[in-house]
Amino acid sequence: MKIAIVGCGSRHQMFRDSVIQDYADKHDIVALCDTNAHRLNQAAEAASKPGTNGVATYLAQDFDRLITEQKPDTVVVATPDFLHADYIVRAFEAGCDVICEKPLTIDLTRLKMIVDAQARTGRKVKVTFNYRYSPARTQIRELIASGTIGTVTAVDFRWHLDRVHGADYFRRWHRQKENSGGLLVHKSTHHFDLLNWWLSTVPTEVFASGRRVFYRPEMAVELGLEGRGSRCADCPVADKCDFRLDLAADQNLKSLYLDAEGDDGYFRDRCVFDAEIGIEDTMQAHIRYASGVTANYTLTAYSPWEGLEIKFQGTKGDITHRHVEVHGVFGGERAHADEDAISTELHLAGQLPRMLEVPKAKGHHGGADPVMLGYIFDPENMEPDRYNRASDHVGGSWSILTGIAANASIETGSVVHIEQMLRARGIVLPR
């Protein structure tokens, strides 16, 4: 397969390295594309095979020429979220399939563009929901599908982002909804996709609340950061700020962003307390599903620890699943949890609760990434996937619709009916 990658920031590295390190005998990266010449050249150097002329590079404005000259079979889209739809549609129209980073896109206008182009061209897009491939998350799917706790009736799902990972969304391009859709789309698409997949259903109604309570100027004052600058690199109070990001101290961040600033003026280390930030850091949603299940969902971006807590209530009992990814942040360092930080408790009616053995695997995201990449780049040598973990434009669409509806509910203060929302935009999706 001939592959072109669009977007050469940190997200593209997983796909690039997987192809050149694990599947070079099956696939070729024929082109790279980015808005930033520095990052583009750096990515090309990393992707080039010894003894070859290297990988062709194209600036973003030359994407159509890339397609014409290199004729890729598949385009990997790893750009900022608001650009996904444009590249997906142009790739479809050129006869290419697509592998897309999550989220599929960020709003209904762009979603309609993708759905219509897919129907028109018949091309395929794979949305890379790596959480589905984690052995621990797959175990949950198997327990629910087998009827272990009977019919699932209600879910409580809490996701905690700590003060390193969570804060990072407030200094990058994600900090504006027009770029990312906010955390309810950019981040929560993973979680809403898991709920859709675990429960084998789709959302119908959403009522949500959200606000920015921590990453704001008033908190900077409370933390003694008066006189702060607009970015960490030249901030007068950086030495006493727990949220400082030193790009120069991390070689990967330095080469990807600090050294690339001269090309486009993008600053990777903007102050997390800026007044101009347009996304929430505290969000809750009540979700109703077509199957009758209801779910309460909470996301916070300033937790003292990182991970998830989820409880499935069923007619025969309940499942409680917890994963502590990071114990906390101490002196600016993240204390990562060990392999035993994932637990799943099964409590059936009339029985004592019991802890289940949680399957494990090596690799990023709880062993999920190597499995997902195997199904993407070497499916013929993978076992048939009885869990249906692959996600196309339909799964990708339903995963963002909960977040898009939640954003609309926050704005209006009303319950949002997803089918009505889709009908108003002329978007037709199978369930």
Q: How do beta strands 282-289 and 294-303 pair?
A: antiparallel
Residue 302 parent element (H or E): strand 294-303
Q: Where does residue 211 rank: exposed (0-12), middle (13-18), buried (19+ CB within 10 A)?
A: exposed
Non-local CB neighbours of 39 within 8 Å, separated by 6+ positions: 8, 9, 256, 260, 263
Phi, psi of 255, rounded to the nearest 5 degrees: -70, -35
pLDDT of residue 361: 80
Q: What token pair was written down for 236?
A: 């007068």
Domains 2-130 and 131-214+277-358+392-425 share a fold: no
d(CA 170, CA 280): 9
Q: How far is Cα 279 from Cα 181, in angstroms, rounded to an integer? A: 8
The per-residue pLDDT for 367 is 82
The token pair that represents 369 in the structure block: 């990434």
Domain boundaries, given as residue ranges, for the chain: 2-130, 131-214+277-358+392-425, 230-264
> Which pairs count as long-range contacts for 52-58, CB under 8 Å and 24+ apart, including other chains?
55/29, 55/30, 55/31, 56/30, 56/31, 56/32, 57/31, 57/32, 57/33, 58/31, 58/32, 58/33
Query: What is the rounded CA–CA span in Å between residue 65 and residue 6?
Result: 13
Decide if 60 contacts 34 (C-beta within 8 A). yes
- Mark 71-100 as b/e (b = at least 16 C-beta within 10 Å): ebebbbbbbbbbbbbbbbbbbbebebbbbb
Question: How distant is the alpha carbon of residue 139 from its chain centre?
Answer: 21
The answer to whether 268 and 171 have CB atoms below 8 angstroms apart is: yes
What CATH class is the domain 131-214+277-358+392-425? alpha beta
* Three-class DSSP labels, 322-352: EEEEEEEEECCEEEECCHHHEEEEEEECCCC
From first to last of the 431 residues of the chain, give the pLDDT tens digit.
Answer: 999 999 999 999 999 999 999 999 999 999 999 999 999 999 999 998 776 668 999 999 999 999 999 999 999 999 999 999 999 999 999 999 999 999 999 999 999 999 999 999 999 999 999 999 999 999 999 999 999 999 999 999 999 999 999 999 999 999 999 999 999 999 999 999 999 999 999 999 999 999 999 999 999 999 999 999 999 999 999 999 999 999 999 999 999 999 999 999 999 999 999 999 999 999 999 999 999 999 999 999 999 999 999 999 999 999 999 999 999 877 667 888 776 799 999 999 999 999 999 998 887 777 889 999 999 999 999 999 999 999 999 999 999 999 999 999 999 999 999 999 999 999 999 98
**In Å, what is the CA distance from 105 to each residue of 80, 86, 179, 339?**
10, 10, 10, 33
Q: Identify the pLDDT of residue 187.
A: 98
Pairwise CA distance, residues 225 & 215, whole Å: 13
Contact 149, 349 (CB under 8 A): no
Cβ within 8 Å of residue 344, ≥6 positions away: 136, 139, 140, 319, 320, 321, 322, 355, 356, 358
Residue 323 amino acid letter: H
Here the tokens at position 340 are 């035993």
Q: What is the rounded CA–CA span in Å between residue 244 and residue 167?
A: 10
The residues with which 329 forms a beta bridge, in sequence order, are: 334
The fold adopted by the segment(s) 2-130 is: Rossmann fold (3.40.50)
Q: What does the pLDDT read at residue 317?
A: 98
If you search the block for the tokens 């024929």, which residue do you land on? 30
Estimate to the nearest angstrom the gap between the alpha carbon of 268 and the chain centroid: 18
Closest C-alpha among 203, 111, 184 to residue 418: 203
Give, to the nearest 10 degrees, the angle between helix 364-377 and helix 12-22: 60
